[in-house]
A and B are shown apart, each in its own frame.
Chain A
Amino acid sequence: MTDLDRIHRVLDAHGKLRASAATVGDDDDLYAAGMTSHASVNVMLGLEDEFGVEFPDELLTKATFCTVRSMAAAVTDLMVSV
């Protein structure tokens, strides 16, 4: 399973998107796709759990979790530095 697939799986489990994550474009605004602030917290927790990383406070912004691409980039950076 690719990292993108794993991110999609976390989104499907916690993001409360109106459609399956696989149908959402990598650069589509996830908040516009139905992800609430509440759900985004659970997505962040799900990503930390899935990838074994911890998002430092500087990355805990709306921008980091706005698109699949921005999440993938943040996760990749953290995994490299681990």
Chain B
Amino acid sequence: MTFAPAVSPDGVLTVRERADIVAAVAQEFADDVDAASRFPSEAVAALRAQRLLGASVPRELGGEGLTVTELAEVARVLGSACSSTAMVFAMHHGQLLSITRHLGDVASLATLVQRIAADDLLVASATTEVGSGGDVRFSSCFVEPAADAARLRVIKHAPVISYAEYADIVLVTARRGADVAPGDQVLIVAESDEVQLERTSTWNTLGLRGTCSHGYVLTAEFDADRVIPAPYEQISTETMLPVSHVLWAAVWLGMASAAVQTARRFVRAAARRNIGSVPLGAPGLVSLIADLEIFETTVSSAARGVDSVAPADLGRIDAVIRMNNLKVQASTDVAGLVGRALVITGIAGYRTDTEFSLGRLFRDAQGAALMVHNDRILATNAQLVLLSKGTR
């Protein structure tokens, strides 16, 4: 996947070079992050040091205005080093762009975004809710007046909020008020000191263990001008979903690439040990590489698509179908490619203590199809294809 690298603000390092620096840090601590099920604080500190958290903010608000294509390249590089770090990066930017692309002309939101860019603040988000079965299009919690009548409040029972305790900003979806329909949702931008988190469950999972997606009862108190004016449905279809699906797919591409690299090294090592013979894993490696290239094309094409289309057009039913299909396809691809790489590396990859170990990547890869469950996405698309005519 190639793109014309942007020059960083100090004119010295490209975006790719900055990503590589962070990836090296992420790689160093990836095993410990997984073993301890802890936040990848070193890698996130490196992201901050490389000014890669505020970078998606538009230039006029103090960021670099990185495109989704550029963000996807970073996500891919990080994905090859540490899945959890990469997912934090991807989630953060999908959420940050949901603010910046829907600011309207709310001055206080613009000022907050400038702070996010200046200080490389980390953005988390609470969209799922206990009782809604993982469907983020509906909320039962609602915005209500706070005890301090000048402010507003929301109380949300969230089954998972990734890295909530490490974020500076937490986005919250809720119904506009107590008397409105479940689908009439708004997006609230709360700062960490406005948010109380009472942990209700611990994230102890097979993979992606460093995303710290614990469950919480979240209570947030905020000013009225921190509710983004646009309906959440619009923010979701025009920004949150397409950007998130592309960036997640880029992370998964990075994970698959790392597994394929390991398989390549294994096969080449086997060939050197027995010069003149073709190792058993070589033919399988050939088709693995071919399929990885198709995956690369899928992701880079999708990223370019999101960058080249106006946000309003991303709300069209055919665009929603395409972005949903991307998530299903990419999450299936990563599990398949990592699994095939594991078979090629055999016992060496199956062991946890060799230079070819693929256990952590394999476990991480299984999560892709489950976070938002692919069956839920396919059910949504099954409804939408009843209408979409598919003409281009």
- CB-based A-B contact count at 8 angstroms: 55
Q: A41-B386, A56-B389 are in contact. Are A61 and B315 (CB under 8 A)?
A: yes
Identify the A interface with B (CB < 8 A): 18, 31-38, 41, 44-45, 48, 54-58, 60-62
Which of B83-91, B230-238, B355-363 contacts the other chain?
B230-238
Assess whether A57 is in contact with B384, with CB atoms less than 8 Å apart.
no
Contact residue among B183, B237, B315, B386 (Cβ-Cβ distance under 8 Å from A31): B183
Q: A61-B316, A62-B233, A62-B315 are in contact. Are A37 and B387 (CB under 8 A)?
A: no
User: How distant is the Cα of A54 from the Cα of B386 in the complex, in angstroms?
Assistant: 11
Name 16 interchain pairs, CB-CB below 8 A, sorted by A: A18-B181, A31-B183, A31-B184, A38-B383, A41-B383, A45-B387, A48-B387, A55-B389, A56-B391, A57-B316, A57-B318, A57-B388, A57-B389, A60-B317, A60-B388, A61-B316
In terms of DSSP, what is the predominant structure of the interface of chain B? Answer: loop
B264 → chain A, closest Cβ, in Å? 42
Assess whether A37 is in contact with B137, with CB atoms less than 8 Å apart.
yes
User: How distant is the Cα of A35 from the Cα of B137 in the complex, in angstroms?
Assistant: 12
Closest to B236 in A: A37
Contact residue among B183, B316, B390 (Cβ-Cβ distance under 8 Å from A36): B183
Is B312 on the interface with A (CB-CB < 8 A)? yes
Closest to B392 in A: A57
Assess whether B312 is in contact with A34, with CB atoms less than 8 Å apart.
no
Q: A56-B391, A62-B237 are in contact. Are A37 and B316 (CB under 8 A)?
A: no
Closest 5 CB pairs of A and B: A60-B317, A57-B318, A36-B183, A34-B181, A41-B383
Is B367 on the interface with A (CB-CB < 8 A)? no
Using Cβ atoms and an 8 Å threshold, which residues of chain B touch A31? 181, 183-184, 231, 233
How many chain B residues touch A (Cβ–Cβ < 8 Å)?
A: 24
Using Cβ atoms and an 8 Å threshold, which residues of chain B touch A36? 137-138, 181-183
Is B180 on the interface with A (CB-CB < 8 A)? yes
Q: A31-B231, A32-B181 are in contact. Are A60 and B383 (CB under 8 A)?
A: no
Docked complex: B129-143 residues within 8 A CB-CB of A: 137-138
Using Cβ atoms and an 8 Å threshold, which residues of chain B touch A56? 389, 391
User: How distant is the Cα of A4 from the Cα of B391 in the complex, in angstroms?
Assistant: 29
User: How distant is the Cα of A36 from the Cα of B175 in the complex, in angstroms?
Assistant: 13
Closest to A18 in B: B181
User: How distant is the Cα of A77 from the Cα of B93 in the complex, in angstroms?
Assistant: 40
Bitwise interface map of B from 137 to 152 toward A, beta carbon under 8 Å scored 1, else 0: 1100000000000000
User: How distant is the Cα of A35 from the Cα of B184 in the complex, in angstroms?
Assistant: 9
Assess whether B387 is in contact with A44, with CB atoms less than 8 Å apart.
yes
